[in-house]
């Protein structure tokens, strides 16, 4: 999909990947289960307007999908709050 973003990502100077490891081990099977559940929504239509085409990413607040507006056929990114 031809998504563009004019904002440069900014990394936090205080946090590093090693800091994240210090928080504790993540139960990877839980992450896999969440991803599978979110991916199961691909192909569904939200509000009779947006068809979810693929999962782009997810986090603590929600999931972002590549979607298509079924009326205009325009490609969009759709964030679904959890």
More confident site: 73 or 8: 73
Q: 3-class secondary structure for the chain?
A: CCCCCCCCCCCCCCCCHHHHHHHCCCCHHHHHHHHHHHHCCCCCEECCCEEEEEEEEECCCEEEEEEEECCCCCEEEEEEEC
Average pLDDT over residues 19-39: 75
Statement: the pTM of the whole predicted model exceeds 0.85: no
| pLDDT computed for residue 21 by the predictor | 54
**Higher per-residue confidence, 71 vs 10:** 71
Label residue 45 by pLDDT band (50, 70, 90): very high
In this model, does residue 5 exceed pLDDT 60? Answer: no
């Amino acid at each position: 999909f031809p998504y563009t973003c004019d904002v440069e990502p900014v990394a936090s100077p205080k946090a590093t990947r090693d800091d994240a490891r210090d928080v504790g081990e993540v139960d990877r099977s839980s992450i896999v289960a969440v991803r599978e559940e979110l991916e199961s929504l691909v192909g569904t239509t939200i509000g009779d307007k947006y068809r979810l085409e693929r999962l782009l990413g997810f986090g603590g607040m929600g999931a972002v999908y590549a979607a298509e507006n079924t009326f205009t056929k325009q490609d969009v990114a759709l964030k679904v709050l959890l």
